[in-house]
Amino acid sequence: MYRYDEFDASFVNQRTEQFKDQVRRRLAGELSEDEFKPLRLMNGLYLQLHAYMLRVAIPYGTLNGRQMRKLAHIARTYDKGYGHFTTRQNIQFNWPKLEDTPKILEELAEVEMHAIQTSGNCIRNVTADHFAGAAADEIADPRPYAEILRQWSSLHPEFSFLPRKFKIAITGAPNDRAAVQVHDIGLQLARNAEGEIGFVVFVGGGLGRTPMIGRKVRDFLPEEDLLAYSEAILRVYNRYGRRDNKYKARIKILVHETGLDELKADIEAEFEKIRFGVLRLPDEEVRRIEAYFAPPPLEVGASTSHTVEARKASDAAFAQFAAHNLNPHRVPGYTSVTLSMKPIGGIPGDASDAQMDVIADLAEKYGQDEIRISHEQNVILPHVKLDDLPALFDQLVAAEIAEGNAGLVTDIIACPGMDYCALATARSIPVAQRISERFGAAERQAEIGELKIKISGCINACGHHHVGHIGILGLEKKGEEFYQVTLGGSANENASIGEIVGRGFSSDEVVDAIEKLVDTYVGLRSGKEETFLEAYRRVGEAPFKEALYGAA
Amino acid sequence: MKVITANRLLNGDVVWLGDNRGWVERITLAKVFEGKDAVAEGLSQGAEGEKNQEVVGVYEMDVTVEEGVIVPVRLREKIRAAGPTTHPDFGKQAQAVSV
């Protein structure tokens, strides 16, 4: 895994010292809130409904046991014993005190972590496929490139005051698990005819109040041009992106208003000016960074394990877990295991300090000391020996993170919603909990098959509702919570924005409505192998609409 | 009817402006302001609290008084006054003191 070099360590320490002094000056009255707010946001510190919230970066969702244990320690010592994994592969603490935050940042720096650029109008934490470096379908590990982008974008002086925030995602596999097409820049690793590595580049995707799928601007960007091209995109955005209206300030609006061809020409012109300059990636530097992500030494084994097969035959819960929570590994004899942070009726993405400690222990014992956080708010152990699965599963059961529901109807993404968030217009988590309870029976979930439900508590769409197969958006109508339902969204390589199915539902009605949609799907699918999304794309919205609102 | 609310600078706790210009931890202890002028006066008292590094984000919010108890109108403010509905063990709802 990537280790901080002396530059990283020194800037993180510097930043921690600066923030400590800024907090001191704020408390002494030398800085007003208006002066302090942008400073605290640059260090991931928000003020929410009940308390401050600290968002800690987990670059490309990768961490190790020691780092996870530190997060557990912070949850226990400075917070209320839990943390919340987010859709940007970060973790949020919901109850830190302002006066404690410099100390928390110091503790994070001890394990090479920080909260820099988890907020503000800058380039945010770069996200990546959570199976990176392990997946069987991968062209190459995307994390070295994510790390190169992290180094380039960290405290980049030119891009510290962008018109609005800027999000980059990268995937190394043709099956996009990183939602790259709904990012400001989406990168998909590809190989050209000569076998060289490069990137398909998408620009201008995004969710929020104006959801858009990214537009392809390059079919193949050579590896060496990654930074120069990214810089060219950022420069064009920084120059022409709208600053007059916060709601029209993202690059997606610029793409939309300028037109793809003109914007592409602007990017290419800027790129030509800088492509042979300092940002050209030297091959040896890429290989040096790549070495940090060298795969752990894994012994090739049999692709089926007798231990696993025997346990599957005798234990239905294990069989369910094995059927849904494993992703094929590139090394036979290994698998990537999803630890579900979606217990039935639980809060999506929440982990207690004790669970974080267990995850750290299990990663060290069974997972080559590697942990990933997925944008779907789960935790992954990317390199687990098949033969170790039964023992691992038993310990997951004890820690209550063994639900075999990855990718199923109860594996719901939900933003914190109005239970925490100052921007929210309705609650998200309680809706997720009730849906989870409604569909919680193992057989029913398995029968329904792959179905992604995503819930946001406001139009900003942190819960990615636009790209849910079923999306739920919480709004306020006449003082009551009110939920709008969208169908047919997807964040994978065939990305699409969901369409509003009709009038929304009250909090009391919404779970029944979701059940009607699911039952309708089960009734009309061509077979069990046709997923909800495929069925929706085949038949369109009419039968779903009819199920919800009756015949027109 | 309105009360003035904010978060404490030091720990982010939800507070309301009480009698005697102090900030109180429970909405039941808040001072109710009626009429435009009274609310403006309340907000200016709140602004003092901001200037003195006691609180941040001062604003007024609608309430009703039901059987002598102050009740927020909007769900958002009900949640602020009590704590996350998903965690009855956290926030003000978890504090044993009753007023």
Could you report the predicted ipTM of this complex, rounded to two decimals? 0.95
**Token pair recorded at residue B70:** 């102050």
pLDDT band at A272 (very low <50, low <70, confident <90, very high): very high
β-sheet bridge partners, residue B33: B2
Does the beta carbon of A288 lie under 8 angstroms from any beta carbon of chain B? Answer: no
Question: Chain A contact for B95, CB < 8 A?
Answer: no
pLDDT confidence of B99, banded at 50, 70, 90?
Answer: very low
Sign of CA dihedral A56, A61, A64, A65: positive
Q: What is the mean pLDDT of chain A?
A: 96
In which band, very low, low, confident or very high, does the pLDDT at A221 lie, cut at 50, 70 and 90? very high
List the CATH code of the domain at A135-292.
3.30.413.10
pLDDT of residue A23: 96
Per the domain annotation, does B57 fall within a domain? yes
Contact A347 B50 (CB under 8 A): no
**Assigned token pair, A309:** 């097969």
DSSP string over A465-478: GGGSSEEEEEEEET
Nearest CA in chain B to A26: B53
B99 belongs to a structural domain: no
- pLDDT tens, residue by residue, A124-165: 999 999 999 999 999 999 999 999 999 999 989 999 999 999
Selecting from A95, A98, A429 the residue whose C-beta is nearest the C-beta of B9 gives A98
Q: In this structure, which CATH number among 3.40.190.170, 3.40.50.720, 3.20.20.70, 3.90.480.20 belongs to the domain A306-398?
A: 3.90.480.20
Picking from A80, A98, A347, the nearest residue to B86 by CB comes out as: A347
Provide the β-strand partners of residue A109: none
For chain A, the structural domain boundaries read 6-110, 135-292, 306-398, 413-549
What span, in angstroms and rounded, lies between the C-alpha atoms of A414 and A514? 15
Tell me what pLDDT residue A479 has. 87
In this structure, is the dihedral angle defined by the CA atoms of residues A357, A358, A362 and A367, taken in order, positive or negative?
negative
DSSP secondary structure letter of residue A385: E
Helix, strand, coil shares, percent, chain B, to 5:
35, 30, 35
For residue B97, pLDDT beyond 60: no
Q: Which of B15, B76, B80, B85 to mutate to test the interface with A (most CBs of A within 10 A)?
A: B76
Contact A336, A385 (CB under 8 A): no
User: What pLDDT is recorded for position A10?
Assistant: 87
Q: Which tens digit of pLDDT belongs to each residue from A451-496? A: 999 999 999 999 999 999 999 999 999 989 999 999 999 999 999 9
Number of domains in chain B: 1
Domain around B7? 2-93
Q: What is the rounded distance in angstroms from the CA atom of residue A498 to the CA atom of residue A91?
A: 27
Decide if pLDDT at A6 tops 80.
Answer: no
B46 touches chain A (CB under 8 A): no
* Dihedral sign from CA coordinates of B59, B64, B70, B72: negative
Residue of A nearest to B11 (CA): A97
CA distances from A527 to A516, A523, A524 (A): 18, 10, 8
CATH number of A6-110: 3.90.480.20
Cβ neighbours of B76 in A, within 8 Å = 49, 418, 424
Nearest residue, CB atoms, B86 vs list A26, A28, A419: A419
Residue B17 in any domain: the answer is yes
Tokens for A508? 């009391």
Beta carbons within 8 Å of A506's beta carbon, 6+ residues apart = A480, A481, A482, A483
Our CA-based measurement puts residue A419 at a distance from the nearest CA of chain B, in whole angstroms, of 5
User: How confident is the model at residue A1, as a pLDDT?
Assistant: 60
Residue with tokens 């994510």: A146
Residue B60, C-beta contacts closer than 8 angstroms, at least 6 positions apart: B2, B3, B4, B5, B33, B39, B42, B43
* Superfamily name and number for A413-549: Sulfite Reductase Hemoprotein, domain 1 (3.30.413.10)
With a threshold of 0.80, does the pTM exceed it? yes
Encoded tokens for A524: 């009309």
Decide whether A6-110 matches A135-292 in CATH topology: no
**Does B94 contact A at CB distance below 8 Å?**
no
Residue from the list A29, A47, A430 with its beta carbon closest to the beta carbon of B12: A47
Residue B98 lies in a domain: no
CA Rg value for chain A: 23
The yes-or-no verdict on residue A81 having pLDDT over 80 is: yes
Which of A48, A51, A420 has the CB atom closest to B11's CB atom? Answer: A51
In a domain, B51, yes or no: yes
Instruction: Output Rg (C-alpha) for chain B, integer angstroms.
Output: 13
Q: CA triplet A524, A527, A533: central angle to 5 degrees?
A: 65
